[in-house]
């Protein structure tokens, strides 16, 4: 039976043409139904800098003001999305570029924060999964930018959160977070599997530290949404089915 895989690629390597060609080739060879979600934070911050806009973050989430929203939409829905789609089409896939706005796929509202006005940064309110299911059944490969529909305007939503919501709504068999690290490391080696309980203990013991903490927290949130397996890995790990797999404890 064909599985449904949700794959999220971070923005760190999305301006690396050689990496993306290898990534597109890998995706094209997967014998599964795939939904691809991408970030683009690196290029957003670079363009903000060139335009004299200072990036702002709250708890690791980009704070999107009105001026930056237009820029974020340009980078994510235009530059990055169409770059990915082009390379995937070159590999013979039926890639189709979308955002959460298209067909009302993902409805968002302002992200709540106790002390900061998140402005045009959103949190997911609802997912309209039927159009996405139709695309997958037609053999297409949706490539989704995390700009989402709002009642009065669009919202910029964290790509990790979009990944979790879509994985849960589709009942995905696996969700992958592709980054520049091969997985969760301990003593120089990748930890093959982790339960939520083991993960929390490794955080407490300072084995999981720094930027890996939000990665594993997101993986656990997706696991909690009902996705059977959640994997943090790099491109090589996607190719060879290695990395750190998060599973519910027995």
In angstroms and rounded to an integer, the radius of gyration of the C-alpha atoms of the chain is 17
pLDDT at 1 over 80: no
Among 10-14, 81-85, 119-123, 126-130, the range scoring the smallest mean pLDDT is: 10-14
Secondary structure letter of residue 64 according to DSSP: B
pLDDT at 250 over 70: no
Mean confidence (pLDDT) of the chain: 93
Identify the band that residue 106 occupies on the pLDDT scale cut at 50, 70 and 90: very high
| Gap between the Cα atoms of 88 and 90, Å rounded | 5
Concatenated DSSP letters for 115-150? SS--BTEEEEEEE--HHHHHHHHTT-EEEEEEEEB-
pLDDT-above-70 percentage for the chain? 99
| Gap between the Cα atoms of 196 and 246, Å rounded | 7
Residue 64: its pLDDT value, please? Answer: 94
Average pLDDT over residues 182-208: 93
Average pLDDT over residues 71-77: 96
pLDDT at 48 over 80: yes
| Phi, psi torsion values for 145, nearest 5 degrees | -90, 140
pLDDT in tens, 204-243: 999 998 878 888 988 998 898 888 899 999 999 999 999 9
Structure token digits, residue 186:
């301990």
Other C-beta atoms closer than 10 Å to the C-beta of 137 total 9
Which class would CATH give 4-178?
alpha beta
């Amino acid at each position: 039976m064909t599985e449904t895989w949700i794959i999220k690629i971070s923005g760190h390597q999305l301006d690396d043409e050689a990496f993306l060609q290898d990534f597109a080739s890998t995706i094209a060879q997967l014998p599964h139904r795939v939904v691809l979600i991408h970030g683009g934070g690196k290029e957003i911050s670079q363009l903000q800098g060139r335009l004299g806009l200072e990036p702002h973050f709250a708890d690791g989430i980009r704070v999107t003001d009105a001026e930056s929203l237009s820029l974020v939409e340009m980078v994510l829905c235009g530059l990055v999305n169409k770059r990915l789609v082009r390379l995937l089409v070159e590999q013979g896939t039926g890639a189709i570029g979308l955002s959460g706005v298209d067909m009302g796929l993902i409805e968002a509202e302002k992200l709540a924060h106790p002390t900061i006005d998140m402005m045009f940064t959103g949190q997911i309110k609802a997912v309209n999964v039927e159009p996405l299911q139709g695309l997958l059944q037609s053999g297409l490969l949706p490539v989704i930018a995390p700009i989402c529909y709002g009642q009065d305007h669009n919202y910029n939503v964290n790509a990790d959160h979009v990944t979790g919501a879509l994985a849960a709504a589709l009942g995905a068999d696996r969700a992958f977070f592709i980054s520049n690290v091969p997985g969760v490391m301990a003593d120089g080696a990748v930890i093959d599997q982790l339960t939520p309980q083991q993960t929390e203990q490794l955080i407490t013991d300072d084995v999981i530290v720094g930027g890996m903490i939000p990665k594993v927290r997101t993986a656990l949130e997706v696991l909690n949404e009902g996705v059977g397996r959640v994997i943090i890995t790099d491109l090589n790990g996607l190719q060879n089915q290695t990395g750190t797999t998060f599973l519910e404890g027995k």
